[in-house]
Structure 1
Amino acid sequence: MQIDTIRRKNNHAMPADYHTHTPLCKHATGEPEQYVAAAIAAGLDEYGISDHAPCRPEPFDDWRMLESELPDYFQWIERAKQAAGDKIEIRAGMECDWIKGCEPFIGELSKKYDWDYLIGSVHYLGSWDFDNPKWLGKWAETDVDAVWTEYWKTYAEMAESGLFDILAHPDLVKKFSYAPEGDLDRFYDPAIEAIAANGSVIEINTAGLHKPCAEAYPAPRFIELARSAGIGLVISSDAHAPAEVARDFPFARELAKAAGYRETQKFNKRSRTSEPLY
């Protein structure tokens, strides 16, 4: 697009925001036209839509769309494309939960639409959606070291599946500020190895700055390790309202640059290209 060329020539390009939600997940607000307008106002090259994918058996929980609502989701994407015109690229994805035995269903979902990318995420350890404020009290009763061990093992398994283009909020497990003592590299290293070996990219997710942990996902140390391992990167807002699109991106960009990143990744029909991180 001409607008992309202009931005690149003037070194004003902002990263794409691929991790955003819709009201179909039951905890987001806004219309597609509002999200598109916010993305344009933020100076983004691309706005990606990636709401919480269905899970089986249904109803799985109360914070995702149902399979029967997939046509509504596709209509949302089409409305966004119509609103965007030639002013910004619209990319289509889903945020898919990694749950034991989910592979066949995610394979089905991957064929439901001409996706640009799929995001994988870990919100569940067994039946516990550990980042849900509804269950916050359970954290005070758990062995935090054991929870972190299980979380990072699960995250590595997700990376090893090869099903996803982007791996979401790597250290989401820290959301409520429960973390083990000592050097956390013992948790990070196996996950970094699995991600590097299987080719997914990670995101710097700025939503963590507005959670109890008050830190982007993942921590700066994890970003450094990812860069050293040659893992690609995107910057994401995890927006659940139009005003959150591209929120805190300048800060995230500086985090990435401090870790040694000089480029971000763009996705189109599940193929990726690199773009300089200005």
Structure 2
Amino acid sequence: MSEQTSTPRPAVTGSGPRTAPALLSVEHLTVRYRLGRGMTGRARTLTAVRDVGFTIGGGRTLGLVGESGSGKSTIGRAILRLAPVSEGRIVFDGQDTAAFGRRTPLSFNRDVQVVFQDPMSSLNPRQTIAATIGQALTRHRPLSGLERDREVTHALDRVGLSGYHSDRYPHELSGGQRQRVAIARALAPRPRLIVCDEPVSALDVSTQSQVINLLMELQRELGVSYLFIAHDLEVVRHISDEIGVLHHGRLVESGPAERVYRTPEHPYTQTLLASTLVANPARQAERTARRRRLGADA
């Protein structure tokens, strides 16, 4: 993450009492997957997430960071009702999502959207950009053809794309442009929460900064909340109000973003930070030395 192109958020000083209830509350979440039966005939399970809890307020961002396999994407999928909740609760706007049963209400699908890591996989290659965004609009809002076209143009303008991009197909756009389209599609239903699942990890450093800054601008403008999932603590620090660090499915550290970034308490968080590459040679040398010390102490 380029330090020159994105300004970190001001530190949050303590949790303190909040007058408004949390938009999203994850309580003692455990997610297990069935793996079938082993040689002895006993059922086997994989516990991907263990007793994780956090809250996200309106217009706030929680960054979940951890290496591959830490469980962070599984948490995002559980919130989206794409992964099983084995134990615990996920409460959105005061309602336990388990009460929905098997069929997810359209209102929840409108209020909770997602931006995936690879827009080339999440965008329909056979649809123009206008059709992709228009489909997201008309699913949740009754619009005439003219109104839909105006909304598509407005959605593209909001994410920094021109109107002529609407007639193009995903393969005709750059990676950064495709991710902007994915963001525009997620914003089209006017959601209250967006799960951003590794949204910049496939982009180059310069484009990462542009997309991060865009997400922050949109949050200031629209008041949308983010669950921002990534493996890079340097990236997460720039967009998040608070950070949660996952290791082997457990939340090992959480707190205000600047506190977790500057004075990490858990050894795993310290290792993550020491492993992050930065543009400043002096700071990079310092992190390399810290990583060696941590390795020696392990």
TM-score, with structure 2 as normaliser: 0.33
- Which has the greater radius of gyration? 2
| TM-score of the aligned structures, taking structure 1 as reference length | 0.34
